[in-house]
Amino acid sequence: MMRRWLLVTVITASAALVSGVVIFGQKRTHRIEGQVLDSQNQPIGNVLVRAYRKDGLEKVGESRTKEDGRYFVEFYSDSPISFVQYEATNWIPATVNQISGARDHLINKVLYKEGSRLSWIAGNEALASFETVYWHYQLTGGKAYPAGVESRYRALLKGLIVPEELQPRVKEIWSRYEKLK
C-alpha cells in the first residue's frame, strides 16, 4: 500500500511540474521573446517592449531590443497577458493582444516606419494598436506613459497613410486622442 501511495505522489508531482502549477510556493517563469523587424525584415534596435496583464493595470515586464532587434520579457505564470506593446521613435506603435500568461511565446513583430503607406491589413492592425493604447491610457489615467504621448499619437494618426476605407476609423480614433488634451 505504501508503494502505491508513493507512486501516486511522484506521478502527481511530476504532472504538476510539467503543467506549470505552483509547487512549494514558487511560480513558474515564462518569457516572451523574439525580434522586432521592419517590413524588409531588417532588425530594429532600441524598441521598448512592454507586457501587461489585467487590461493593462499590471505591467509584468519590459525590455528594449538590442541592435539585432532581439528582446525578451520574463513573467510569472498567471492570468493572460492582455497585450504586448512595441514602441520606438519614428515607428508606428504596435501591440499584440491576448496571449497566454502560462506559456512561453516567440513573437517576431514587424513595425512600420512613420509615413509608410499601409495595406488594409497593416492599417487595420495599426489602428487596433492605437485603440489599445488609448484605452490603456484611459484606464491608467495616463500614468503608464510619458508626458506628451497623446500629442505624439495624434500626430502619428494624422500622418497615417491607410486605404480610403479606413479613413473614418482614423478620424474617430484621432478625435479620442484629441479629447486627452
CB neighbourhood size of 92 (10 A) = 25
pLDDT tens string 40-98: 999 999 999 999 999 889 999 999 999 999 999 999 999 999 999 999 999 999 999 99
Domain 26-178 has CATH 3.40.50.300: no
Of 54, 79, 24, the residue nearest 135 (C-alpha):
54
pLDDT tens string 19-46: 444 445 667 999 999 999 999 999 999 9
Hey, where are the domains in the chain? 26-178
Q: How far apart are CA 164 and CA 157, in angstroms?
A: 14
